[in-house]
Structure 1
Amino acid sequence: MRFRAKRWAVFTLSASAALLLLCALAVFLVDPFEHYRESSILPLYDQESYNNPGIARNYDYDAVILGTSMVEMSHPSVIDACFDVTSVKLPMRGSHISQMGWQLTHVLKTHELKLAILAVDAYSMMGQPNDMEEIYDYLWNDDPLDDVNYLFNRDVALVKIPKMLQNVGKPLAAKRDNMYQWTDVVFSAQSVFDAIPAIAQKDMQSADTNLSRSTENVERHLIPSIEAHPETVFKIYMPPYSVGYWFLMTREGISEQQFRSRRLLCEKLLDYPNVEIYDYSSRIDWITDLNQYFDYSHHSGEVSDRLMHAMAAGENRVLSVSDMEAGSERIRQAVADFAETYYPN
């Protein structure tokens, strides 16, 4: 009986070890997160926090666009044509400057960049400086021991691999453009109106609210990379949120602190020779064309393409703090016009 129990224990342990090895081998070979190599099978591109590390590590590129969900509709092919580069996009939905800085630091460790395009908005500037939510270090670092978190991941083995294998044979040529794209939304003015909640006007908070956060974020998460890589051009732009967004921020009483953070960005970065700042938040003809939005924030791929062409042409470049202040004043006026037209008292 004791011998039979021992044999059963050995068999169970051996079978478990074999299953674990098969799991690890399957994950290594299919590699849904492209942790080891750029995949010859079209990846799922359904979780930025898990997909971005592999893209950043293993794709061939000399330019990158980083930002929140506001860059998800960007087309690297357009960036390539505008700036004569080979680019990838690494958005993180709902992220802050802290996560952008993390990604930027790791990208610059593995690639020599000609160009880094950073979509920096006041919302992300005012995030917690230590916010590393959705950053999974085991996918970014070079420690092979940490790979156990990936190789023996049940969700990867049982969910991601079967889904990805369904993509065998699908074309790869447009994958950089198509990754992370919104395909199930309606771009219309009505979508913007439907997204704006009806709220009473709140007292306007001080413009200096959260200014210390914005300052720390820029100093900790952007400036070190800018100073360490003078060979890289950093094109930083304020994304074109719709006028509906700025209307809501005004009603919430938090627009002035966002305008102050916009100014801070210029105060901190304009003097760097490898930094260019562009303000598309105050591009009034864009932010008032509500048919290009599917909510009060997110614009279409067409606007993303216009933005890259405008940037390549030097349009809306901010050369002084007063330029950014003038842009903020244009936004204030656009909000007043929007409120009078669409939300009369």
Structure 2
Amino acid sequence: MKEKKKGISENRVCRWWNIATIGIIVLVLTFVGAYTGYIDPCFHYHAPLTNLFYPLYSQRYQNNGIAKHFDYDAMIVGTSMTENFKTSEVDALFGCHAVKTSFSGAYMRELADQMQTAYDTGHNVKMIISTLDGYMLEVKDAESYNPIYTYPTYLYDKNVFNDVAYLLNKNIFLNMAIDGVYDRADGTPQTTSFDDYSFWSTPDMGGKDVLLSEYEWQNYTYAKAWNEESLPENWYKQAENVLQSNLIPLIEQHPETEFYLFIPPYSIYDWDSTRESGSIAMRIAKQQAIIEALLPYENVRLFSFYDAYDIVTNANNYRDTAHYKANVNSVILQWMAEGKHQLTQKNYEDYLANITRFYASYDYKKLHG
């Protein structure tokens, strides 16, 4: 009889132990979820809280929240070619209040979604600055995101149930909500400045030796001639599809917004690689496709800086063959504000002819001397 009572007692202890354990787990998870939601380091629910400092460093986790909850009337949204822009310069030049939401390696769908989020959340966006990198027009699936990046889709959609992936995310809780955000009771700025967000440029980086190191010269031949190769029959349709599926609907639906769009100036070393592969004609054709698709819209200000030859041919302006340093970003903003290097229906054909002559006849040998 005593053994039976002992067994019943042990069962009760086990049951209460299980209940207590479950209760503790529920309490811990509730605390983690509540704390993450309250601090909200990705701005999924609200803007930064007063007297807390929020570091900005994770583009695909934080940009969507910035677009939803920050105060602004202008937006920088583009590839890594926009990372060194300073919103303080944008504000001064264009008389606006801008945020920067760059996406390194972005496909055009990602940029379009970011712009759409700004409109969907009631922002009166009077100006958008964005890049038009040629590689984005080569994407076969116009609505795809770059597969090399991980996207926290639970932060992007409107499904509240999958927010658990955010609220109970160990890395977000420990690294962003606890270690990242901290008290600033003195009332100093509540986030990393948008001048500093995603900014990577330093004066001493890059240069000729660095750019040359990206090449493999063993099989390099200077005798390879530039040639007019035939373009794929469906290329223009593909480029048009990417634009029509992403950017152009936003331009048409929001005439109140001026879209400052620019084709970024990759370096002469990048053009050298293009020349060696025999695809200069293709590259210029990409520009023509972009230009002819976008120029008809009155609220588009379209720029290309490939005729800024002093910048393109100066290796000291670049970190690598494509990425230019902050001094170039500043000049680009100044030129856009002044209307320099702007493409129009009247001048774009001359522009294409000029850059074709320059890059087809450039003495690339001197890059390696």
Query: Structure 2 length normalisation: TM-score?
Result: 0.85
The letter for the 1-side match of 2:272 is F
1:225 and 1:51 map into 2 onto residues whose CA distance is 22
Unaligned runs of 5+ residues in structure 1 are none
Pick the aligned partner of 2:145 from 132, 143, 151: 132
* Shift of residue 163, structure 1, vs aligned partner: 2.9
Q: Check conservation: 1:226, 1:274, Cα contact below 8 A.
A: yes
- Structure 1 residues 143 and 310, CA gap change in structure 2 (3 angstroms): same
Pick the aligned partner of 2:209 from 190, 194, 198: 190
Query: Is 2:193 the partner of 1:175?
Result: yes
**Matched residue SS, 1:18:** helix
Pick the aligned partner of 1:102 from 104, 113, 116: 113
1:214 is matched with 239
Query: Is 2:92 the partner of 1:85?
Result: no
**Matched residue SS, 1:277:** strand
- Structure 1 residues 167 and 326, CA gap change in structure 2 (3 angstroms): farther
* Shift of residue 172, structure 1, vs aligned partner: 4.8
* Shift of residue 324, structure 1, vs aligned partner: 5.5
How big is each residue's C-alpha offset from its partner over 1:51-77, in whole Å with a ceiling of 9 and x where there is no partner?
101111111111111111110001111
How big is each residue's C-alpha offset from its partner over 1:211-239, in whole Å with a ceiling of 9 and x where there is no partner?
33311110110111011101111111111
Q: Check conservation: 1:269, 1:275, Cα contact below 8 A.
A: yes
**Matched residue SS, 1:176:** coil
Query: Is 2:26 the partner of 1:17?
Result: yes
Structure showing the higher helix proportion among its residues: 1
1:77 and 1:328 map into 2 onto residues whose CA distance is 36
The letter for the 2-side match of 1:83 is F
- Structure 1 residues 196 and 141, CA gap change in structure 2 (3 angstroms): same
After TM superposition, the structure 1 stretch with the greater mean CA deviation from structure 2, 257-266 or 307-316, is 257-266
2:272 and 2:183 map into 1 onto residues whose CA distance is 43
- Structure 1 residues 245 and 149, CA gap change in structure 2 (3 angstroms): same
* Shift of residue 81, structure 1, vs aligned partner: 1.0
Q: Check conservation: 2:77, 2:101, Cα contact below 8 A.
A: yes
- Structure 1 residues 189 and 144, CA gap change in structure 2 (3 angstroms): same
How big is each residue's C-alpha offset from its partner over 1:7-64, in whole Å with a ceiling of 9 and x where there is no partner?
1111111111111111112212222212222224333322211110111111111111
* Shift of residue 336, structure 1, vs aligned partner: 4.3
Query: Structure 1 length normalisation: TM-score?
Result: 0.90
After TM superposition, the structure 1 stretch with the greater mean CA deviation from structure 2, 235-244 or 314-323, is 314-323
* Shift of residue 102, structure 1, vs aligned partner: 1.6
Q: Check conservation: 1:98, 1:132, Cα contact below 8 A.
A: yes
Pick the aligned partner of 1:312 from 337, 348, 351: 337
- Structure 1 residues 130 and 142, CA gap change in structure 2 (3 angstroms): closer
Percent sequence identity over aligned pairs: 24
1:340 is matched with 365
Q: Check conservation: 1:76, 1:177, Cα contact below 8 A.
A: yes
How big is each residue's C-alpha offset from its partner over 1:319-345, in whole Å with a ceiling of 9 and x where there is no partner?
02862563464266246435131247x
The letter for the 1-side match of 2:169 is N
Q: Check conservation: 2:269, 2:367, Cα contact below 8 A.
A: no
1:64 is matched with 75
CA RMSD between the two structures: 2.5
* Shift of residue 167, structure 1, vs aligned partner: 7.5
Unaligned runs of 5+ residues in structure 2 are 1-9
1:1-345 equivalent positions in 2, closer than 5 A? 1-40=10-49, 41-110=52-121, 111-128=123-140, 129-133=142-146, 134-165=150-181, 168=184, 171-172=189-190, 175-182=193-200, 186-198=205-217, 200=220, 206-208=230-232, 210-320=235-345, 323=348, 326-327=351-352, 329-330=354-355, 333-334=358-359, 336-343=361-368
**Matched residue SS, 1:164:** coil
* Shift of residue 160, structure 1, vs aligned partner: 2.1
After TM superposition, the structure 1 stretch with the greater mean CA deviation from structure 2, 190-199 or 255-264, is 190-199
The letter for the 1-side match of 2:171 is D
Matched positions, count: 344
**Matched residue SS, 2:158:** coil
